[in-house]
């Protein structure tokens, strides 16, 4: 089969919409890609025209996306390019979709902490701050309990867990789900 595979670098323009279907999970979000060019005359970077894509994901990738990606986060998306034309309100419109094969955070613009998810554990992909997270008011090891650090993670940031001195400090997520540390 001849597919057009593309890799795009940009930002999540919308939140991830996740739905359970008969064949497994399905997720979609809008993705913005803005090229930047160095303007020699003005001696500064200028933004080009922003292109928007709808990224579609299925099954496990869809579930993991819903628990890992928020609006504005820098991402790298790799997948199959799909271009479709539709007629709406008498006007012909073109839509460009990406059927994602792999999605990850753009590590040139920040850090990320990978957590392997064991099959059959959908609650483990829940984002910190969501209603179904494990550190509710009755959880003694939540962020303010004996195992917590009083914040989103032990280093004071929203992700990561390594101190600047080089020693590793476990995050709240690692304390909440120690079984994630060594999954096959």
Reported as type and span, the H/E element at residue 17 is strand 17-21
Q: Where are any strands of DSSP class E within 22-109?
A: 24-33, 36-39, 44-47, 51-58, 74-88, 91-105
C-alpha 86, offset from chain centre: 29
Which pLDDT value is given to residue 121? 56
Residues whose CB falls within 8 Å of the CB of residue 98, separated by 6 or more in sequence, listed in order: 6, 8, 31, 53, 54, 55, 56, 77, 79, 80, 81, 82
Q: Rounded CA gap, 152 and 172, in Å? A: 7
Which pLDDT value is given to residue 115? 86
Which pLDDT value is given to residue 122? 55
Which pLDDT value is given to residue 45? 92
Q: Rounded CA gap, 2 and 99, in Å? A: 14
Residues whose CB falls within 8 Å of the CB of residue 1, separated by 6 or more in sequence, listed in order: none
Nearest CA among 49, 89, 78, 65 for reference residue 14: 65
Which pLDDT value is given to residue 75? 96
Which pLDDT value is given to residue 131? 46
Which pLDDT value is given to residue 123? 56
Which pLDDT value is given to residue 104? 95
Which pLDDT value is given to residue 97? 95
Nearest CA among 117, 129, 10 for reference residue 60: 117
- The pLDDT profile of the chain, 184 residues, written as one tens digit per residue, is 688 999 999 999 999 999 998 888 999 999 999 999 999 999 999 999 999 999 999 999 999 999 899 999 999 999 999 999 999 889 999 999 999 999 999 999 999 888 887 766 555 555 555 444 344 444 444 444 444 333 334 333 444 433 334 444 444 444 444 444 444 4
């Amino acid at each position: 089969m001849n597919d057009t595979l593309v890799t795009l670098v940009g930002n999540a323009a919308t939140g991830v919409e996740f739905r359970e279907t008969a064949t497994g999970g399905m997720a979609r979000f809008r993705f913005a890609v803005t090229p930047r060019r160095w303007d020699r005359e003005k001696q500064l970077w200028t933004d080009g025209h922003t292109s928007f894509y709808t990224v579609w994901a299925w099954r496990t990738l869809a579930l993991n996306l819903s628990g890992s990606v928020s609006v504005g986060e820098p991402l790298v998306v790799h997948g199959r390019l799909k271009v479709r034309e539709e007629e709406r309100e008498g006007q012909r419109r073109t839509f460009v979709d990406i059927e994602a094969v792999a999605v990850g955070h753009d590590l040139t613009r920040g850090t990320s902490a990978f957590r392997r998810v064991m099959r059959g554990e959908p609650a483990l992909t829940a984002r910190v701050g969501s209603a179904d997270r494990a550190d509710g008011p009755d959880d003694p090891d939540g962020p303010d309990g004996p195992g917590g650090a009083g914040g989103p993670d032990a280093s004071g940031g929203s992700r990561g867990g390594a101190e600047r001195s080089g020693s590793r400090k476990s995050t709240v997520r690692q304390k909440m789900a120690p079984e994630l540390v060594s999954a096959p």
